[in-house]
Amino acid sequence: MLALEVKRTVQGVGHLGVGEHRASVAGKRTRSYTAWTGMLGRCYSENCHERQPTYRDATVCPYWLNYQNFAEWFTNEPNSTEKGFQLDKDLILAGNREYGPLACSYVPRAINTLLVCRQNATGLPIGVSAFRSRYRSSLGVHGVLKHLGTYDTPSEARSAYVVAKEHYVKLLAEDYKQVLHPDVYTHLINWRARWQVLT
C-alpha cells in the first residue's frame, strides 16, 4: 500500500493536517493560523531573511509543521491571544533556534525584544557611542534612550551599560512575573550581559 503524500502548503514545509482547528472562520484568518504562518515565514521565507537575517538559521520542529499540532498548543498556551504578546523561542531554552512546544511561550513585546543585541555599526561595544573626545553609554528603557554618562574609554562606558542593562532586565522580569512562564522568569533573573573584551 502506498503511503499518502502530505501536501506542504505553507513556505514549502507546513501543512494544515486533519483536525478541528481551522485556518479561517467566516472568511477571517484565525489567530492560531496567523501565528503559525508568521512563525513559518520567519524561518523559511527568503524575503523575511533579507529584512531580518537573524532568523536565517531558525527552524520549526517537525511536530509543529502540522498546523493542527501548533494550534492545539496555541489554544492551551497562556497569553497566546493577549494583545501585545509575542511568540518567543529562546527565553525558556537560552540560545535555542528551533520553534517547538518545549521551548516556546508567549511573552510581552518588551520582554521578547529585551535581549536582542544589534551590532554597533561603529565598531564600538553595544551601548557605547563616541561623544566628542569621550565615550557615551546609553540604554533603551521603555522605548526611550537613556544616557548613562560619558567616560574616558570604551571599556568604562561598556561597564556602565552592562550594569544598567542587567538591572533593567531584572526590573522587567519582576514587572511581568505574573504572566511569564516560570522558566522565562528564572532565565531573566539570572541573565548576565556578555562582556566584550577590548584591546
CA dist., res. 185 & res. 160, Å (int): 24
CA atoms of 7 and 4, how far apart (whole Å): 9
Cβ-based neighbours of 117, under 8 Å, separated by 6 or more = 126
- The confidence score (pLDDT) of residue 196 equals 44
User: Cell 472562520 identifies what position?
Assistant: 25
- What average pLDDT score do residues 105-115 get? 95
Instruction: Output 61 or 3, whichever has higher pLDDT.
Output: 61
Q: Measured between alpha carbons, how far is 148 from 189 in angstroms, rounded to an integer?
A: 22
In the predicted model, is pLDDT for residue 168 greater than 70? yes
Q: Give the burial class of 160: count Cβ atoms within 10 A of its Cβ; 0-12 exposed, 13-18 middle, 19 or more buried.
A: buried
H-run or E-run covering 24:
strand 24-25
CA distances from 81 to 77, 100, 108, 176, 178 (A): 9, 18, 11, 16, 16
d(CA 125, CA 191): 18
pLDDT in tens, 4-45: 555 678 999 999 999 999 999 999 999 999 999 999 999 999
Average pLDDT, stretch 138-143?
92
pTM, 2 dp: 0.86
Look-up of cell digits 520567519: 42
